């Protein structure tokens, strides 16, 4: 859960730094958020697989659940923002995001973590 909240903090925090949205630095802040999230993701997989000695499947599930939690929290923040700030976007899209964002982020995160954990296992056995 801590890693999922950390993804949210990175995403939300860097979005706040990118204000105003017309700034030339928006892309830089978004790239920084992606890079930091990728480092957190890689460290999470490494920690689960090699430090905690979790199975390949458990490692992938834990990584995917953390990513899904981060995406869900970002969808919640977007929904709250919609309530506070008037916009033309229909409200149902934000409600749909609460379900869709975790799914569309967790599935690829699971598959990549599964492959990465398998590679880490292979490398570990070759080094022993």
Does the pLDDT at position 110 exceed 90? yes
Does the pLDDT at position 20 exceed 80? no
Question: What pLDDT shows up at residue 128?
Answer: 59
Question: What pLDDT shows up at residue 29?
Answer: 87
CA distance linking residue 75 with residue 38, whole number of Å: 19
In the chain, what percentage of residues exceed pLDDT 90? Answer: 67
CA distance linking residue 123 with residue 111, whole number of Å: 18
Q: Using one digit for the tens of pLDDT, what is the confidence trace for 84-109?
A: 887 788 888 989 999 999 999 999 99
User: Domain-by-domain residue ranges, the chain?
Assistant: 38-127
């Amino acid at each position: 859960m801590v890693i999922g909240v950390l993804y949210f903090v990175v995403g939300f925090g860097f979005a706040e730094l990118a204000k105003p949205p017309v700034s030339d630095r928006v892309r830089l802040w978004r790239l920084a958020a992606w890079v930091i999230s990728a480092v957190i993701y890689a460290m999470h997989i490494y920690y689960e697989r090699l430090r905690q000695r979790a199975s390949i499947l458990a490692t992938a599930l834990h990584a995917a659940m953390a990513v899904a939690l981060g995406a869900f929290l970002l969808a919640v923040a977007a929904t709250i923002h919609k309530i506070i700030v008037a916009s033309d976007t229909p409200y149902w899209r934000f409600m749909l995001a609460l379900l869709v964002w975790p799914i569309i982020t967790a599935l690829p995160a699971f598959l990549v973590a599964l492959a990465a954990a398998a590679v880490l296992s292979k490398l570990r056995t070759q080094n022993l």
